[in-house]
Structure 1
């Protein structure tokens, strides 16, 4: 049984861990889009949140106006103190434009809007709504390190489903890329980023102070950008990761407008931004070849792991993916991150009121 510690404190589940945690002082942020309306996985998530009984559940919703009434009616069925934050309404858009914060829209922007509202509580938990194996104790696990003096916690879990290894963007892009960066630099931020067993997990928790101090990626790269901000604000000694067991949720194709290849560009950009913030200057010319060398090692290692467990494994397909991901390795473009709420020219209560008024209008 694994009990190894990493550069960040690593909390293992040796059976049925369900620690005491301050759920009554926490807000849980669950970003959603219109495609998740009344789905089986979201139904499970909100039913389990009833058992958690957090101080508040904040749902930043990205959906067209005609879908908002259905969402409000459906979410009202769950016995939680829920704040629906419609992110696409005209009042919210106007507030952002007046503050000079309009621009790309995506999951990161939705979560950022919710963080401003959620940070009125002592603690903030963020997780997705598409997990079919979600349990109430997942929230308590994420919160426990915060009550024990840490500022940030991150979930990790096994991505094994249908006799296959998933988590491809992490296994085949993030892990070998961090290893390749380590060839050219010896820095605490690389040790930190390499310590997380599933760095692209969407499940994390933080103190309200950290939530207010964090800059946020607008679209892809939210999870890696969050780790970079956790390093800047809390450092390795202020961060922990917790074992959430085995998660099952949606999978993406490699190609296409929302596929893994496009996501890799955002993940790479966020990763490079985080390490540059910490003072690392990558050799972008040499990095793609270094990445390919490490990626080949990871494909071989994961292939052996899969064979050891009798799982299906497409070595050729995984090597093809690494060739695609290598094209995403480039200097990050302009910094379009949303500012920390502590510095933002916006009042989160004003945003919440605007979103509520927009949702009322949509219902009418």
Structure 2
């Protein structure tokens, strides 16, 4: 079994990369990971068209969610679709961070036709991986191991894959949405052992890419302030990743805290316009501090992440009249904000000129 990268190895890897600027990508015609990848709804033409938009503003990377049920359904076909996606992304000069597990939104995923979006609701159809029933059932964990080893084994030496995100926000989900301490502890008791195992399964395949899992809650100013899940995430990650939807000052503070861990940094989620997390506020800091960045969203679509988070509990259409929360382009390729797109092209072009 492989070992966690040393800080020196992680920095050597990071130094070989361009400044990483990308997005979390789900095609506009998919409501969740399952609809993106299932055979009946996998749409390579839409993926191609929308990744071209990402490349047009200088993005060189995307973060993409997989799902364990897709492996269970038809592993060989799933791997073939991942390969097809990577080929399209590569043609646009884009490398892919693949996310293996995710604890956000609906806890009971199911294969087959996915629901239509709930009108006015942010991410109304997104699903967790694994679902809560699988999380609670140790008898199901062997198939999760097969999934991780199978996917990482297939693409662990593939230059088109940038990195492996083992678990997205493992301390998230409906049961801890309000950050209730008892619920968070109950979730941690289930997740931490499996999270650590998942890192081990991936590392056993000896991928050439780094492993990570991003922290997002709380105060990170001292190691003893990290939750058990965050301690597991950061202590097993080759590069440190985090999510931040705060203003520029908050982003800069968190970068300062995390740099004390002595490893390269990736911000794998940011950009929520009404919250003050904008490209113009965050990217200059990230560039100066050499932090890789992945905004949330690219093209407005069935995830409806142009609407703010609170529409999850309080559906209404007023959000449609507000400045978009996430996403950059409308489905026809029209930018939500022309000045924003111009800024992205400028800062990325300047990076190319000074590289």
**TM class, shorter-length:** under 0.3
TM-score normalised over the length of structure 2: 0.27
TM-score normalised over the length of structure 1: 0.26
Please tell me whether Structure 1 or Structure 2 has the larger radius of gyration of its CA atoms: 1
